[in-house]
Amino acid sequence: MKTGKANIVGAGPNGLIAAAVLAEQGWDVQVFERNPHPGGAAASGSTLGEGTIADLGAAAHPFAYGSRAFAHFDLAGHGLEWDFHDYPLAHPLDDAESVFLHQDLEATMAQFPADRKIWQLLHGPLVRHPQEILDNATSPLLGIPPHPVLMARFGLRALPPAKLLAS
């Protein structure tokens, strides 16, 4: 195996994983980050005021917890602690109170009594098969996904425009 030197620009999740993979293969790796702390879009800070922690980039990184790369490098064994909020997402509505995504599908569906069945139909498979959905979503675009039947079912549900699906 040929090794060499690599410069990684950006200490976000992708840059750090790339650096770790290359270092594991024996490469001499340097990571460059313009911000004072690593993390990229996955970093949090108190930009909204003291006592309020907000994402500095993306609103959520739902794939991180099930990441095969994170598991491979045993980040939990190196001190990574996952912190799950009771309400990972909230969405304000124009004509009603805000709705919340709960850690529990039943609690989330309780906010939508009229749409409970469709919510279960659309989101139930994601909750029942999270790792398989993640494997499909993060596999190469060309070729057969690792769980083709589950991917086909997901694709059929995702096919209609959101407005049509919501009605």
CATH of residue 72's domain is 3.50.50.60
Query: At which residue do the structure tokens 């609690």 appear?
Result: 107
pTM for the full predicted model: 0.64
Q: How many CB atoms lie within 10 A of CB 88?
A: 13
Among candidate residues 128, 118, 98, the one with its CA nearest the CA of residue 162: 118
Kindly state whether residue 25 falls inside one of the protein's structural domains. Answer: yes
Range of the domain at 18: 1-83
Kindly state whether residue 14 falls inside one of the protein's structural domains. Answer: yes
Tens-binned pLDDT, residue by residue, of the chain (167 aa): 788 999 999 998 889 999 999 999 999 999 999 988 888 877 877 777 888 877 777 655 667 778 888 889 888 898 988 878 888 888 888 887 888 989 899 999 999 898 898 889 888 888 899 889 888 988 888 999 999 999 998 888 888 898 887 77
Kindly state whether residue 74 falls inside one of the protein's structural domains. Answer: yes
Number of domains within the chain: 1
Kindly state whether residue 24 falls inside one of the protein's structural domains. Answer: yes
Residue 120, both tokens: 């279960």
Kindly state whether residue 26 falls inside one of the protein's structural domains. Answer: yes
Kindly state whether residue 67 falls inside one of the protein's structural domains. Answer: yes
Kindly state whether residue 10 falls inside one of the protein's structural domains. Answer: yes
Kindly state whether residue 20 falls inside one of the protein's structural domains. Answer: yes
